[in-house]
Amino acid sequence: MKQNDHTIFKISWRNIWRNRLRSSIIILAVTIGIFGGLVSTGIMKGMVMGLINNSLENQTSHIQIHNKQFVENNEVGFLMNKTDKLLSKISKEPAVKSVCERTKTFGMASTASKSAGIMVNGIDPVREKTVTGIWKKIVKGGGTYFESNKRNRIVISEKLAKKLKARIKSKIVITFQDYDGNLTGASFKVEGIYRTQNSMFDKQNVFVRKTDLDKLLNMPSHSAHEIAIVLKNYKQTGAEVERIKRLTPDYLVQGWPEIDPYLQVSASMVDFMLYIFMLIILIALGFAIVNTMLMVILERTKELGMIMAIGMNKFKVFKMIFYETTLLGIIGALVGIVISAAFTLYFGRYGIDISIVGKGFEAMGYGTVMKPYLELTDYFQVLIMVIITGLIASVFPTIRALKMKPVEAIRD
Amino acid sequence: MKVIEIKDLYKSYHDTEVEVKAVNGINLIFEEGEFSAIVGPSGSGKTTLLNVIGGLDAPSSGSVIIDGTDISTLSSRQMIDFRLHNIGFVFQAYNLIPVLTAKENAEFIMQLQKKSRAERDARIAELFAAIGIQGKENIRPNRLSGGQQQRVAVARALASKPKFILADEPTANLDSKSTANLLDIMRKLNEDENITFIFSTHDQRVIDRAKRVILLDDGKVTKDTKTK
Ligand SMILES: Nc1ncnc2c1ncn2[C@@H]1O[C@H](COP(=O)(O)OP(=O)(O)OP(=O)(O)O)[C@@H](O)[C@H]1O
Ligand SMILES: [Mg+2]
């Protein structure tokens, strides 16, 4: 800062503390407003990030590959061939952390008393564990995740278990159409019961060994319906999709935003919400600040007249008012940001239990423990918005100040 | 050397139904180093004249030429800058910025002029010694007496060595002791630094200390005497 500016800044800063009560009230209002805006955005963002992470971890992964027709119509026949070669090529990609393949088919699961439509996922448990986290989601006393090497084992969700009245070691009969279009079925023994935070997903998905399912479906060897890939960094999704497309031009390669557009939309919605929230809060605060500053200008008519008379130009008068206005906002914003950051860090770590009110959330795939989440850029954006508000809010008081004629201001 | 030349100066106000001719045809010349009092009854136009000379108010007609510059040719922006670099002001009251200390107030103009810290410090020390404010440099105006405040204002006006200083009733709010003291200081600085002072006053004791007395009545100069 030039020494010139330094003096003006010093005046502005000290002017704030001339009326401590009034300034404190404005600063407190800004603090509360910023805290409210940031924390509510943080909570929403945390929920959405939780949803996205859950989905990426348990369902979509970062990239999936399918036969184009399979995506439109999940028929057993629309499969991908020579997947063994493809998998090894993909594994060699530097950005790829892990990859797995699945056989998938719709089917009907029945026990003695009940039946339900399901998606049967034929997986290779060893590879699958490196891609999805379902194996970590086995409920207490809910058996194991393909630890037994016996044939025809199945892992189902707690939800489905309840519906089918099935337990560990229960027999479930699964019927489906095989590769040749014949209706076929087999009996599976429940080995594990899992629960993710997305009950919609849970209701539908059961897991069996790919080798078991392939045999039943009569699948050609080295074929699969789905390849799922996890990257070392999810931010590389877009670039890696392009690279894998070149490896396998015939099949449909999709990144998670394309597989589940809702996730992507939710993420950008929350960022947008921050703007909207902050905009509304800052407009309200802006009015309060403008009002305060107009009062200030009125009180200091003579002083301002004198300053302009002795040679302070209009731009410097504006700067003086701008600094004071913006400092009011920035002090409040910084306090608000510090409190919000503390809140977000603490509850982001330990979570807020919303299970009492959270029944509906769980069905939508959100967790029952709320973990607010904010990024450094969110705080910066808020600070910049506060400064812009200060800039806009200083315009009216400055106009008022500059309208005064020094002669009239000075006259008794 | 001519510092200010005032030619056929008129200033009237039309605020009310009747036109008030606050300055009604004044011609004056102020030379460098003058110590002049503008004297006259209330409403005679002293403040108006000083404001027009200082470029705070525009004349209705006529011109004010300062060091060769007709100030009516300056834009309002240029005028502010011109005031900053050429004219020192001392007002009757509200001279100081309440949130700045005595020293910060005194160096305020020099700071606006972007003078270096060393230059400012030296000048303010010199002036504070002259006005007898040593030891109170870091005190804010509300803890200075009225006389001390006016002395700081004089120091500020003088600090940047302007072409001249305009002071509108600088002693109006002061007791007689402070008045005498301020006048002594102004007169001393006028003599030591050859700075031109033009001030208005009602006060006979102030008039007695002036080197030139200009009597105003109804916006006209009725008497102009050089005493010393
Ligand atoms: N802004 C204004 N609008 C209207 N009339 C004004 C204005 N300023 C001054 N006047 C009038 O102009 C005349 C001269 O006023 P001015 O203030 O210059 O007198 P003065 O000699 O300084 O008086 P005082 O000794 O009371 O300070 C007065 O009649 C006053 O009422
Ligand atoms: Mg007057």
Question: What residues are paired with A118 via a beta bridge?
Answer: A107
Which amino acid does the sequence have at B154? V
Residues 10-49, chain A, touching B (beta carbon < 8 A): 10-11, 14-15, 18
Ligand 1 centre distance from Cα of residue B219 (Å): 10
Residue B34 has pLDDT above 90, yes or no: yes
Q: How many residues does chain A have?
A: 412
In order of A52, A203, A273, B189, B192, the CA distances from A267 in angstroms are 8, 25, 10, 72, 75
Q: Which residues pair with A138 in a beta bridge?
A: A194
What φ, ψ does residue B87 adopt, rounded to 5°? Answer: -125, 135
Alpha helices in A156-260 (DSSP H): 158-164, 199-204, 210-217, 237-247, 256-259
Asked if residues A98 and A127 have their Cβ atoms less than 8 Å apart, the reply is yes
Q: Which run of H or E residues covers position A231?
A: strand A226-231
H or E element: which one contains A50?
Answer: helix A20-55
Task: Please provide residue A225's backbone torsions phi and psi, each rounded to the nearest 5 degrees.
Answer: -100, -25
> Smallest Cβ distance to A3: which of B57, B97, B111?
B111
Interface test with B, best of A1, A299, A310 (most B CBs within 10 A): A310
B113 Cβ contact partners less than 8 Å away, ≥ 6 residues apart:
B84, B85, B160
What are residue B32's phi and psi, to 5 degrees? -60, 135
User: Please, where are the H alpha helices in B54-171?
Assistant: 76-86, 102-106, 108-112, 117-131, 146-159
Question: Which positions in chain A touch B80 (Cβ < 8 Å)?
Answer: 308, 311-314
Residue nearest to atom 24 of ligand 1 (CA): B42
Q: Is A172 within 8 Å of A109 (Cβ atoms)?
A: yes
Using an 8 Å CB-CB cutoff, list chain B residues near A316: 112
**Cα(A362)–Cα(B103) distance, rounded to whole angstroms?**
67
Does pTM top 0.90 for this prediction?
no
The CA distance from B45 to B22, in Å, is 5
Alpha helix stretches (DSSP H) within A300-369: 301-309, 314-350, 359-363
Q: Which residues line ligand 1 at a C-beta cut-off of 6 Å?
A: B 13, 15, 20, 22, 40, 42-48
- Please give the Cα distance from B7 to B16 (Å, whole number): 27
pLDDT by 10s per residue, chain A, length 412: 566 788 999 999 999 999 999 999 999 999 999 999 999 989 888 888 888 888 888 889 999 999 999 988 888 889 999 999 999 999 999 999 999 999 999 999 999 889 999 999 999 999 999 999 999 999 988 899 999 888 999 999 999 999 999 999 999 999 988 878 788 889 999 999 999 888 889 999 999 999 999 999 889 999 999 999 999 988 899 999 999 999 998 999 999 999 988 888 888 888 888 889 889 999 999 999 999 999 999 999 999 999 999 989 989 999 999 999 999 999 999 999 999 999 999 998 888 877 766 566 666 656 667 889 898 999 999 999 999 999 999 999 999 988 888 877 777 6
B18, B20, B200, B220: residue to mutate for ligand 1 pocket, most atoms within 8 A of CB: B20
Q: Which residue of A has its CA nearest to B89?
A: A310
Which two structure tokens, joined as six digits, stand for B60? 């209705």
Q: Which residue has the tokens 């008379």?
A: A309
Task: Look up residue A349 and give its two tokens.
Answer: 């770590």
